[in-house]
Amino acid sequence: MATYESATSRLARLLTMVPWLLNRQGIDLASAAAELGVSEAQVVDDLELLFVCGLPGHYPDDLIDARWEDGRVFVSNADTISRPLRLTRDEALALIVALRALADTPGLTQHDAIDRALAKLEAAAGESASTAAAVSVDLEQPLDPDLAASLRDALARARRVHLRYTVASRDETTERDVDPIRVVGVDGRWYLEGWCHRAEGVRLFRLDRVEELRVLDVDGTPPADLPPRELGAGVYRAAPEDLVVTLHLEPGSAWIAETVPVERVDRRDDGSLEVVLRVADPAWLRRLVWRQAGQVRVLAPAELVVGVGAGAAEAVAGHTQSGRLD
């Protein structure tokens, strides 16, 4: 395993692994490792450990029979631990919190299944279920039912879709054809991830900015072997050709460093930050800075400093003039 695993964490993992393997006699080592989320070497280590454990007495017949032969895994003689341990607090929390969030999300079609699954898990988790109420996720942004239905249809039949879409950074409406990969909810918003024929690359489209979506009668299978996209850092992704920008963030806007992929952060004594980030589109950055009421200052490159300041000055001037318009 990549990270250090304590003796007790490993025990908890083994107590889950044994019932799982008991029901999958002869599973091949590689699939077992993949589905158990560990390396093949770890599975072998685990089997070796199980092999020397068992009922008091520890005669051969008392011990767990754990073997791997010709790349296949067999576990038997482990009746006492043939059922998994009850869900732990965090396990129950993870499933129940996420299911409750799904249950409250309009636009998903499987609400009936969510409610049934939730009722069963809450019953099984007992006290952990009521504790889980203290943690909640409000996905907030509803998934538009018509849009969701069209996308589900396009995904199920591998059809291409045509979008009329607002590009926020340039604040303009574009038309494009997209081969859908998935619909994903990140940071409280829903996105369509797909192969965009206009950009010739994988792009994320915010569903609340889709003005119109048509399912086309054209094959929409995205190109094979697309690199899997990690959304762990949010939906932005930097590219080497992006503009390198240095920003000064006042403490009140320091959170920005958490939401965009910064390459470097220097913290000052007064709590302000200096961050370096890559920006694909200067228009996006201008809008970000304008929003922040002077809490964010562009330090470099110089032409962007000038552009941001001049745009804001023009906006202020426009307001003082428009007073005389009517």
Partner 1 sequence: MAKARPQSSEPKGPSPAAAKTERLLNLVIALLATRQPLSKARIREAVPDYRSGNDEAFERMFERDKDELRALGIPLRTEPVDPFFDDELGYRIDEREYALPQIDLAPDEVAVVGLAARAWSQASLAGPAAQALRKLDAAGLVRDEASVAGIEPLLHTREPAFEPVRDAVLSRTPISFDYRGAGGAGLTTRRLEPWGLTSWHGRWYVTGHDLDREAPRVFRLDRMVGLPRTSGRRGGFTVPADHDPTAMIRRTYGDDAETTTTVRLLVREGAASSLRRRATPADHPAPAGWDALGLDVHGVTSVVPEICAAGPDVRVVDPPEVRDAVVAALTAVVRAHGGSPR
What residue type is 3 in one-letter code? T
Under a CB-based contact definition with an 8 Å cutoff, are residues 205 and 189 in contact? no
How is residue 245 written in tokens? 């920008």
Residue 70 interacting with partner 1 (CB under 8 A): no
Q: How long, in residues, is the chain?
A: 326
Give me the least distance between CB of 321 and partner 1, in Å please: 8
Residues 202-221 binding partner 1 (CB under 8 A) are: 209, 211
Give me the least distance between CB of 311 and partner 1, in Å please: 5
**By C-alpha distance, which of 93, 186, 109, 191 is closest to 149?**
109
Question: Cα–Cα distance between 77 and 64 in angstroms, integer?
Answer: 5
Count residues near partner 1 (CB under 8 A): 145
Residue 184 interacting with partner 1 (CB under 8 A): yes
Q: Which CB atom, from 240 or from 320, has the smaller least distance to partner 1?
A: 320
- Of 32-40, 197-205, 212-220, 237-245: span binding partner 1 (CB under 8 A): 32-40
Under a CB-based contact definition with an 8 Å cutoff, are residues 161 and 224 in contact? no
- Of 196-204, 213-221, 224-232, 237-245: span binding partner 1 (CB under 8 A): 224-232
Give me the least distance between CB of 197 and partner 1, in Å please: 19
Give me the least distance between CB of 62 and partner 1, in Å please: 9
Residue 94 interacting with partner 1 (CB under 8 A): yes
Distances (CA, A) of 148 to 188, 207, 208, 215, 275: 16, 9, 11, 12, 38
Q: Which CB atom, from 3 or from 240, has the smaller least distance to partner 1?
A: 3
- Of 75-83, 195-203, 214-222, 237-245: span binding partner 1 (CB under 8 A): 75-83
- Of 48-56, 195-203, 213-221, 274-282: span binding partner 1 (CB under 8 A): 48-56
Can you tell me which residue has the tokens 């299944």? 113
Question: Cα–Cα distance between 275 and 260 in angstroms, integer?
Answer: 10
The helix/strand/coil state of 217 is strand
Question: Cα–Cα distance between 248 and 237 in angstroms, integer?
Answer: 21
Residues 123-162 binding partner 1 (CB under 8 A) are: 124, 131, 134-140, 143, 148, 151-152, 155-156
DSSP category for residue 261? -
